[in-house]
Structure 1
Amino acid sequence: MRNASIIHQKVYGRDALIRQVAVWKFLGKRIAFTNGVFDIVHHGHIYSLTQAAQEADILIVGINSDASVKRLNKGPERPINDQESRALLIASMIMVDAVVVFDEDTPYDLILSIMPDVLVKGGDYRVEQVVGHREVIENGGQVIINPIVEGYSTTSIVRRISQK
C-alpha cells in the first residue's frame, strides 16, 4: 500500500499546492505547469506530459473538475471518469510531481497563484491563446506548445466506442 499512499500525496488542494510551490521555489526548482481534462488518457497525453516534464524540475498538472468539464461542452457523457479517478491516474505517472483539480473554466487563477517558470500546453494552440501566457512571460517565464500526436484524442476515442 506504500505506493498508493505516495500517489495520493501527489494530489494537492490549491492552498497546499501553493505552499509546496513556495518550498520548491525556495529550493531553486524550475516549475512547469500544464492542464487538461485527461478523461481517457492516451498516447498524446503521455507524449505531452513527458515533454512538459523535460522543461523543468517539477511538473504540476491541473485537472478540470467534473463541473468544469461539463461547462466545456465536451459532450453529455463527459467526463467519463470522475475528477478523483483522473487526478489519481495522472498522479501515478512518474513524470508528474503534483496534481491539482480546479473548478474554474480555465486555470488562470491557479496559474497566477503558482506562477510557473514554464507554461506548457499540448495541441494546436498559439502562445497568445494559452491562458496565463502574458503573466508568465512578464514574470520571466516561458510558454511552450507541444505538438499534437496525430490520431489521438479522447473525443475520437469516445466516438469510436459509441459506434460499436
Structure 2
Amino acid sequence: MLPSQEKILSLPQLLSTVKEWQVQNHKIVFTNGCFDIVHVGHVDYLERARLLGDKLVVGVNTDQSVSRLKGPSRPLQDEMSRIRVMASFWFIDAVVLFDQETPLELITAVEPDILVKGDDYAIENIVGHDVVLAKGGVVKTIPLVKGYSTSQVVAKILRDQQC
C-alpha cells in the first residue's frame, strides 16, 4: 500500500486515529469539500488550514452527495479519485468520505479543535460551528485565492470546447 493510501480512513478508523492524536495533545483541524477538480485555490486553502494545528482531517463528499448538492452532471471525478488526490498532499493527515449533504455528523463524531472553511462563509453559517464552539474549539475562515473555483474551471473548459 502506498503511503497516501494509508491516510484514507473509514469513520471508525478515523475516530480511533483522532483519539490517539488527542492523547498525544495534537490540535486537530477539520475541513471538508467536494474537491472535484483540485486547483491552486484548494491547495492554498488546505495548506493554510494545516498550519492552524498539528493534524488536518479532510472530509470529502461521496459521489452521491456531490450529485445531490451540485446536480446530476457532477462530480466530474469519482470519489476514489478525489479522495486519493487529497490523501497525496503532505499537509493532509487523514481523509474520510461522508455521504450526507453536510459534514455535521462527521464533525460531531470527530470533535475537532479547529473547524475551518473559506472566507466566503460567515462563521455562524459554517456547518458544525456550534458543535465545535460548545466543546471549546475554534472556528476560523481562511482567505480564498481570488479567481479560482471549480465552477470557473468547468466553465472555461466548456468555453474552450466550443471554440
Cα distance in 1 between the residues matched to 2:96 and 2:126 = 18
Letter in 2 for 1:16: Q
- Aligned pair 1:70/2:67, yes or no? yes
Q: Kindly state the Cα deviation for residue 77 of structure 1 after the two structures are TM-superposed.
A: 2.3
Letter in 2 for 1:160: K
Counterparts of 1:110-129 in structure 2, within 5 Å, are 110-129=106-125
Partner of 2:144: 148
Letter in 1 for 2:53: A
Show CA shifts across 1:47-79 (max 9, x none): 11011000110000000000000010x243210
Match of 1:98 among 75, 94, 104: 94
Letter in 2 for 1:89: V
Structure 1 runs, 4 residues or longer, greater than 6 Å off: none
Q: Kindly state the Cα deviation for residue 46 of structure 1 after the two structures are TM-superposed.
A: 0.6
Cα distance in 2 between the residues matched to 1:156 and 1:61 = 23
Letter in 2 for 1:155: S
Counterparts of 1:9-24 in structure 2, within 5 Å, are 9-24=6-21
Letter in 2 for 1:102: F
Cα distance in 2 between the residues matched to 1:88 and 1:122 = 22
Cα distance in 2 between the residues matched to 1:163 and 1:14 = 39
Cα distance in 2 between the residues matched to 1:87 and 1:123 = 23
Cα distance in 1 between the residues matched to 2:45 and 2:119 = 9
Identity of aligned residues (%): 45
| Aligned positions, number | 160
Counterparts of 1:19-38 in structure 2, within 5 Å, are 19-38=16-35
Superposed CA RMSD in Å reads 0.9
| Runs (5+) with no aligned partner, structure 2 | none
